[in-house]
Chain A
């Protein structure tokens, strides 16, 4: 029963929610692009990795924190824009499998460039590590970054909801996500909408890069790779067709891995990936269209 006691421990719960918050942001980034373009961006983790290297680059030179964060945003947004122009846009009419393979190639391209540039050991980003210090609230010690992560995630999500529901651009994006052909007929500009979604996703990637480098200051070419794989699984488990279900799926997989990682005894925690992936397979078998979606997906009937 020690597993249950550890799992319900407040400390473990808070850390798990913090991880879930970060994963939820990544899920939004992946889900938004998927909604508008029907494209699963496997290279999303490499955007975060590039942002993290920008932060490490700045902290190496003792630049002020704000400059480092600005550089991180600049690099990630420029890369996102380039990816959209060079890869996503020409492939817009292709099947989902072709697009997935293309982003798979881009992911490996960015990762191998990072390996060539910075070597397998990577660099360290140390300018924000003071956020790792804990503050005591009641009986639990909470690292400042956990609070920052949760607050940032909530703020970002609220901003996004406002954008989608209150602006013309948001309306266009929602229209394109539901039926892109009809939306285009009604005057929604496809290029504008896809650029906007990629830029928003990029901004979220930069935010995630800042928060992840605080917790894991060593930036290697495979930085955020494992997280991206988990989030992709989470997004599909939650249901890709709606942004809300994708976000919930991302949060859920972060939360569950946080709980399992915090509560499992150490000799079993090395099998943590197997447990999480096993759960993913189970959920997909029971609900292939996603945990948080209503009704069944379309099956062509003759």
Chain B
């Protein structure tokens, strides 16, 4: 029990600390902290499937994207909708919901979409699964881009209430972490992890790999949709913001942290996010100890991808080695 408390406690404390730290910085820097916390939610959502099943998915940003669309479209005030999204279906343009319901809807839509996609796709594994999830991402992006009855199409969302501040981002990240932890300790999660380690042995003791993967995929999509909802309540974005670049950066975070542990997902997200924020500041010109560092615009993604390549080559199991957090073992005198 103590080990479990530490394993859940460490990521929660880390996220809480990031949130608390964000409260002490200037308003412009606060944006970096909120971004980082939303990225924690996103990466942990992806981890729930990729980490526990060991199957690579390039498609999770689709679930994030439908979360963005669901929460975004439903939260824009009714009177604003005809101007920004004139072609919406009637039931979408006549409905407006508040902050919390919109997040819940984003999560449900993301989860339902993942379930529908997963029903056929979870039969695949290996490269076929990778390419098929990529295809899902391509289709989702293509449809959101041109189908203007369900959203703004190519335009950027506007007039979505900006309710995701530090508090909502922190609470959201903690909720996602707790859900991921509860899942991986549950019977379902353990069966899936067993199948990841040895599919043949898991099958032999009666684990249905298909069903376990599907359950995890749906939960993962649910959490990714929720993270998407958090994001659209933070900044106005368009369809290009939820495609290849986001897929790359979130996968990079997961791999850099360590794919097979919740701790790795959180550490990876915060580490890359911090690196990215510092580099963004340097692109604007940053003064450290009297030296001004001024990087050309665009160098942050160069550094992040170089770091990712380096981590994969030098330490393929990630910064955390893919292990959960544990305190160094203290040997008590009486234990011998």
* A residues with CB within 8 A of B: 40, 86-87, 90-91, 94, 96-98, 100-102, 104-106, 108-109, 112-113, 115-116, 225, 229, 232-233, 236-237, 240, 270-271, 273-274, 277-278, 280-281, 284-285, 288-289, 300-302
Contact = CB atoms under 8 A, between A and B. Distances in A.
Identify the interface centre among B134, B136, B204, B309: most chain A CB within 10 Å of its CB. Answer: B309
A236 B316 contact: no
Contact of A229 (B138, B146, B255, B306): B138
A284 B121 CA distance: 9
Nearest to A110: B305
B194 interface: no
B135 A277 contact: yes
B299 A233 contact: no
Q: Is the interface of A mostly helix, strand, loop or mixed?
A: helix
Contacts of B309: 87, 102, 105-106, 109
Contacts of B299: 116
B293 interface: no
Given A100-B56, A112-B301, A270 B146 contact: yes
A232 to B, nearest CB: 7
B206 interface: no
B335 interface: no
A273 B128 contact: no
Contact of A285 (B54, B124, B136): B124
B251 interface: yes
16 contacts: A91-B313, A91-B316, A97-B130, A101-B251, A113-B302, A116-B296, A116-B299, A271-B142, A271-B146, A274-B143, A277-B138, A280-B131, A280-B135, A285-B121, A285-B132, A302-B204
Interface of B: 54, 56, 120-121, 123-124, 126-128, 130-132, 134-136, 138-139, 142-143, 145-146, 199-201, 203-204, 244, 248, 251-252, 255, 296, 298-299, 301-302, 305-306, 308-309, 312-313, 316
A289 B126 CA distance: 10
Given A113-B302, A274-B142, A281-B121, 11 more contacts: A40-B127, A90-B313, A101-B312, A108-B301, A112-B301, A115-B298, A225-B244, A274-B138, A277-B142, A280-B132, A302-B203
A243 B200 CA distance: 29
A242 B295 CA distance: 46
B200 A301 contact: yes
A97 B50 CA distance: 11
